[in-house]
Chain A
Amino acid sequence: MKSTFAKVVSGLPATYADLRYEQNRKIRVVYEGKELSGVSTALTSGGHVRAYAEGGKAIASFSDPDRAESIAANTCAAAAQVGRSREKKLKLASAPVIEEDFLITPAKDPRTISLSEKIELATYYNSIILENPNVLTTQTVYDEFASRRIFVNSEGSVIEYELLNVGIFGMIVTKKGDVVQRVRFAFGGQEDFTPLIGREDALKKQIEKACALLDAEPAKAGIYPVVLDPSESGVFIHEAFGHLSEADGLQNNPSFRAKLQLGTELGKPILNVTDDPSIPGLPGTYIIDDEGVRGARTALITEGKLTGRMHSRETSAEFDEPLSGNMRAVDINFTPIVRMSNILIEKGDSTFDDMVSSIDNGYYLVGAKGGQTSGDQFTFGAQWGYKIENGRLAGMVRDINMSGELFSTLQATSMIGDDVEFGERGGCGKGGSGPMQMNRKSGKGSPHIKIDAVTIGGI
């Protein structure tokens, strides 16, 4: 198949063309309460072509591999048409030609484990949750995604590579009177099956929190100093800053591009942020991206100053900045877009106690619960929180959301903890100029951090 596809892209009327062909297997086991509501296997395959011609670009996804040749030819013609209408021609940064395979060999390979063993594990964790009398229902999901991909381009790269993520995650739903609360859990999220096993204690902690939340007070709206736990601050740096470091989003947004010149001071000298696909055992770890470029560590913020950005070959040429290997596609229905791998706030030197004791009236937010950004505006939820009163943690709070503006919030990040942790479930939604791609291969890590002022939504 490799040589067939390599032939398809070799003689095209284009300055550059590539083709990615995937065979994917997704296994999903879903419990909803007591019911095993779904055991499914998805076997999907298909191709995606990208062509640059006369300074323009066109792309196409297709299911039928026999149509690859004619689709590639049409895509080149469409690219040329785009190019002829553009005064400013699109260019690609040069990248090494790679002829190598990158296959994955995890310690305990989920692809070799029987379906019944996977179901048994989901059943076990689900039953632990159901034992608690406050639990109204559950959602427990075993999720495995294995992708084998061929990448060929018109420059001679021929690469076969694999992606693999396996995890057990879900939701604990508790109820008391009219109050219903939801707390999430996640184990694994990377290529190895091992971290899925023996996690009863971690699960029980989440169940306890879901029960305790039933007696918690809702948060009170206003502007407060906050401490974020590693999960929440990982989402903060991912959502609020990370997306603005993806060069494709800035490419056609002149005002943000001007605000985010390399060297700009974004935070205090204690702030260091990196994107790193090479850290082993994380959700966003990979060797090669979906544009045939090796993934590289990028120092995004160094001592408070913007020092790097995540790029495609196209944006790397346009910004005249180094390649980073961040072009990734969720699956065959999508074109690669610039995405974070594992984004991380590097360790600082404050302790958690230092942070709490510095606040008279504020909140401690725990556990990411999803977030959303638009340019420099961000909002995200916490699974639970605590009031901070006179330098001490006070009562538990529920239904807590925070929002703010990136630049002032980074400047207001005044303390960084000495306790980095990574989340076990990856996940990121981004559309770019196309449809939303939900990518599980996206990791987030951080220590505890203190922010001097954010808007808390609540009653």
Chain B
Amino acid sequence: MHDIIQRAKSAVDQAELYWNRKHSISVNYANYRLQQVTEDDVSEVSLRVVADRKTGMSYAVFPDQEGLLESAIEGAKFGDPATFSFAGPGSYPKVASYDETTSKLSANDLIELCEGIKKRIQPHLPDVALNVGAQLETSELVIQTTEGADAASKTTSAAYFFGAPFKGAGIGVFKFDLSVEAPEVSDELIERFIEWYQWGNNSSTPSTGRLPVILAPEGSFLLLMPLLAGVVGDAVWKKTSPLTERLGEQILSEKLTVLDDPLRDKDPTARIFDDEGVPCKTQTLVDQGVLKQFVFDQRTAAATGGTSTGNGFKRALFGSGNETPITPWLACPVLQPGTTPFAEMVKDLDEGLLITNGMGFHSGNYPQGQFAVQAIGFHIVKGEVVGRLDKTMISGNIYQDFLKVRDLSAETGPVSGFLSTGHSPYVLVDGLQVAGK
């Protein structure tokens, strides 16, 4: 147990130490050229205390930094009454999240990986401005409390990305993946990148009106982020969530089952305990379209008379990390796949959209399930992709428009955009409002 927890025992009612250290190496190529090598070694801590039955917080770089405990006590003088106790001893699940070999990779290994990606793409797309990058991170997280929690985890994460803007355009195609072990870049991913890039050589504006839309895995945050905002405990507690009174009701299509699954082996975003030291677990949020449960951290659980579901995280729509206050958040949303090959979904559409990203999502009223975004992706006409979307907005409300989901693909991929974790298949929605020609 760290000294500061020992010291806190005599100074405050309760204390919780969160300590995190990250060592990362990354390399970046811009326009096919090696641009920069970055190596970071940073640590950060936060301390929460209950002093005189009130809560206070402070942050620093090292646990033994002067003023850490004193600042937290100072904050507690003004804090609201503590409504919960910090986590006690826990039994944490096991997940394969650390790989010794990966932790020893060097900048040279990452350069080799990126050179390999370059060599496989350059012959097909010699005159595009290809950006490639890879990052390796080893992170340690420790949470200790005066109540007896002593949680520790160690994770390796090896990630790569490659992407290029369409010629003369501001948008492009971007692919990435990450794993606990040294990544292998599949032929399928490279081929898909080349195919999609070539799809985007022309631009195309769809008709205005309701059109069927396929959300690619990377674009499925348009569904999952509003859903997250609806199931988190603070929105339920404050009744700002449109789902507050809808447990057990059909809120989405019966084709949709959504889990929060932090226990995926070899997924570097896996978590065995949350940022309050509460054990994580796999939970079904939506089962065949029926809302099954909400997620809580300790504070919102106490406020609503329940217990934490292990979903207290230092995350927010923008940013994450030490100074982000703990709030209920999904550890890793997973939309269960279907059986239809993606290529068949495209073939069946007379006119439709394939969406890879939605720009301006955060400025919409997404906590109520709504979105109105600039559509990034491709225009499909008579079963063929005819070009990248141009001058197109899509809008909708997930609790209305995702009641009618036609199909889910067998293929899955990582979610990106406004969600930093998650997995999804391609989702074909019956219709979204499109503002185009």
Contact = CB atoms under 8 A, between A and B. Distances in A.
Dominant SS among interface residues on chain B: mixed
20 contacts: A32-B238, A36-B80, A38-B79, A41-B71, A42-B59, A56-B37, A59-B38, A82-B37, A87-B33, A116-B78, A253-B165, A335-B38, A374-B359, A375-B165, A375-B170, A377-B171, A377-B376, A379-B373, A381-B363, A401-B395
Given A40-B75, A58-B38, A401 B59 contact: no
B148 interface: no
B33 A86 contact: yes
Interface residues of B, number: 82
B60 A61 contact: no
Contact of A43 (B60, B111, B234): B60
A399 B165 contact: no
Dominant SS among interface residues on chain A: strand
Interface of B: 26, 28, 30-31, 33-44, 56-62, 65, 67-68, 71-72, 74-76, 78-80, 107-108, 111, 129, 131, 133, 165, 167-172, 208, 234, 238-240, 242, 299, 318-319, 322-323, 325, 357, 359-365, 367-368, 370, 372-374, 376, 390-395, 433, 435
Contact of A136 (B234, B240, B360): B240
Given A136-B238, A182-B365, A222-B208, A255 B67 contact: no
Given A62-B42, A63-B42, A401-B360, 7 more contacts: A41-B57, A43-B58, A46-B42, A79-B37, A180-B367, A252-B31, A374-B376
Nearest to A379: B360
A307 interface: no
Given A35-B80, A379-B373, A178 B169 contact: no
Contacts of B167: 255
B36 A57 contact: yes
A146 B130 CA distance: 39
A401 B395 CA distance: 10
Contact of A61 (B37, B42, B67, B242): B42
B242 A78 contact: no
A373 B370 CA distance: 20
Interface stretch (A67-75, A271-279, A411-419): A67-75
A19 to B, nearest CB: 14
Interface of A: 26, 28-30, 32-33, 35-46, 56-64, 67, 71, 74-75, 78-79, 81-82, 85-88, 115-116, 119, 136-137, 173, 175, 178, 180-182, 221-223, 251-256, 259, 332-333, 335, 369-381, 398-399, 401, 403-406, 429, 433-434, 436, 438, 455-459
B300 to A, nearest CB: 10
Nearest to B242: A178
A105 B341 CA distance: 64
Contacts of B390: 405
Contacts of B80: 35-37
A337 to B, nearest CB: 11
A312 B373 CA distance: 33
B129 A252 contact: yes
